[in-house]
Chains A and B, each alone.
Chain A
Amino acid sequence: QMQLQPWGAGLLKPSETLSLTCAVSSGSFSAYYWSWIRQPPGKGLEWIGEINHSGTINFNPSLKSRVTMSLDTSKSQLSLNLRSVTAADTAVYYCARGPGRLRWGQGILVTVSS
């Protein structure tokens, strides 16, 4: 059964760059879109963006100027960078296979605090 496990720094200072990587175990990595979604503590879900192996990338306009996403098909990994973070970027970050029939990965809490 496919699993998605993100990792990265869990505590950042304002203005730093959030960097997360998600490893995908099993399944056809190149056949799908891959997404990042976040959830501030106690709040709802926000779609960050999606990417596929062809290089098609779509971002949420609310974050577009600060976001970079990439795939490493040789390692079956996807990555997310979010520049110039503030406290408002504190959230649990999820990687997922999708859209559509979304397959959620585990989340990772990233806290931005001075």
Chain B
Amino acid sequence: DIVLTQSPDSLAASLGERATITCKSSQSILYSSNNLNYLSWHQQKPGQPPRLLIYWASTRDSGVPDRFSGSGSGTDFTLTISSLQAEDVAVYYCHQYYTTPYTFGQGTKLEIK
């Protein structure tokens, strides 16, 4: 199975600050034939289902604020929130859909300092 390791496990940042979460894959999830990274990022607020933020590692889903961005390729990926808002408090998960069994990172809890 592909193991996704997120860091940090928890993060506290001030409103307006930049927040960065990394996700490292145990093997490359870049499909060479289409040059796409099979990685997505999801946000989960308490009591709610997760919400897709980013897919193909860097494509923002419809309706997602542009302060959220994804980057990286191969085995190393980053989710960046450029200017933290109060409503961004949540747990964030990376997810690989390169090969089954699809797997998720352990989650990063983001709080306001």
Interface residues of A (CB under 8 A from B): 44-47, 50, 58-62, 94, 98-107
Contacts and interface: CB of A to CB of B under 8 A. Distances in A.
B93 interface: yes
A101 B104 contact: no
Interface of B: 38, 40, 42, 49-52, 55-56, 61, 93, 95, 97, 100-107
Contact of A45 (B38, B50, B52, B100): B50
A9 B62 CA distance: 34
A106 B44 CA distance: 12
Contacts of B102: 47, 50, 99
Contacts of B49: 94, 104-107
A61 B42 contact: no
10 contacts: A44-B106, A47-B101, A47-B103, A59-B101, A61-B101, A62-B101, A100-B56, A104-B42, A104-B49, A104-B51
Given A44-B107, A45-B95, 5 more contacts: A98-B97, A100-B38, A101-B52, A103-B52, A106-B49
A104 B101 contact: no
B107 A102 contact: no
Nearest to B59: A101
Contacts of B97: 98-100
B21 to A, nearest CB: 14
A32 to B, nearest CB: 13
Given A99-B97, A100-B40, A102-B40, A47 B52 contact: no
Nearest to A107: B49
A100 B34 CA distance: 14
Contacts of A101: 40, 52, 55, 61
Most B CB atoms within 10 A — which of A47, A50, A61? A47
A102 B95 contact: yes
A98 B61 CA distance: 14
Contacts of A100: 38, 40, 55-56, 97
9 A-B pairs closest in CB distance? A99-B97, A45-B104, A60-B101, A47-B102, A104-B49, A58-B100, A101-B55, A102-B52, A44-B107
